[in-house]
Amino acid sequence: MPVLTIACAHEGKAKAACCRRFFAPVSVAMDKNAPLGGRYTPVAIALHWLIAALIVLNFIAAWVAEGMPKAQSAAVMANHKAIGLTILAASVVRLVWRLMRGSPPFDERLKAWEVAVARVTHWMFYFLMVGLPLSGWALASSARAGQGVSYFGMLDIPALPVAGDKASVGMYHEFHEVFATIMLALFALHVAAALKHQFIDRDTTMARMVPWLKRGVPASGD
């Protein structure tokens, strides 16, 4: 019986070692794409700044179009819609990447409520980055009686299957306006918080998404 027990134990260790060797390459491959050293992956960083730039550009386009003659305004708004669809596509990719790869840990010096606010803000951003352009697409589809949206004159994106009556147009317009207002407020809060962490708290929060910033900056008094 002791011989059998020793043999089983040895066999169990051999199986465990075999399993470790088998799964090790998978873990290494996954780690290459996981957030490294408290910083987002290059893909996440690129998508973050691309989407942020397009959002700013689209708000500027909408504001500029309001003061233009009708023909010029229509041309600017056509680009506004195409940019919005680009934001939608990039945001879906960003969200999928986030769910697959996760995010780097927060700076250990952050308070619990700061981490909670950051998490809520991030997920609100994801909701708006999809919801805002989606509501604009629905508005364009409803207002244009099912006609597609031109994507920079290269192709037509099919309209969403939404109603085209006056009430529906008004509803989608309201959604778009409300989402845009919340996005502006959240954007301002996000920028202010990032600057606070970088220049007042002097922690590593902003370095998670800005490749050239130093990490591990000591807090004041450390």
CA 160/CA 26 separation, integer angstroms: 40
Cα dihedral value 106, 112, 115, 119, nearest 10: 130
Q: How far apart are CA 222 and CA 202, in angstroms?
A: 11
Q: According to CATH, what is the number of the domain 34-208? A: 1.20.950.20
How far, in Å, CA of 74 to CA of 70, rounded? 6
pLDDT of residue 146: 83
Q: Reply yes or no on whether the pLDDT at 163 is more than 90.
A: yes
Domain boundaries, the chain: 34-208
- The answer to whether the CB of 90 falls within 8 A of the CB of 54 is yes
* Digit-coded pLDDT (tens) for 182-201: 999 999 999 999 999 999 99
Of the pLDDT bands very low, low, confident and very high (cuts 50, 70, 90), residue 213 is: confident
Cα 133 to Cα 88: distance, rounded to the nearest angstrom: 6
For 23-60, what is each residue's pLDDT tens digit? 333 232 333 444 444 889 999 999 999 999 999 999 99
Digit-coded pLDDT (tens) for 44-100: 999 999 999 999 999 999 999 999 999 999 999 999 999 999 999 999 999 999 999
CA distance 136 to 144: 12
Place of tokens 């980055």: 129
**For the whole prediction, is pTM greater than 0.75?**
yes
Least confident piece of the model among 10-19, 116-125, 153-162, 175-184: 10-19
Q: What are the two backbone dihedrals, phi and then psi, of residue 155, each rounded to the nearest 5 degrees? A: -160, 165
Q: Which of 101, 112, 127 is nearest to 39 (CA)?
A: 101
Evaluate if residue 221 carries a pLDDT over 60.
no
At 120, is the pLDDT very low, low, confident or very high (cuts 50, 70, 90)? very high
Burial 114-133 (b: 16+ CB within 10 A, else e): beeebeeeeebbbbbbbbbb
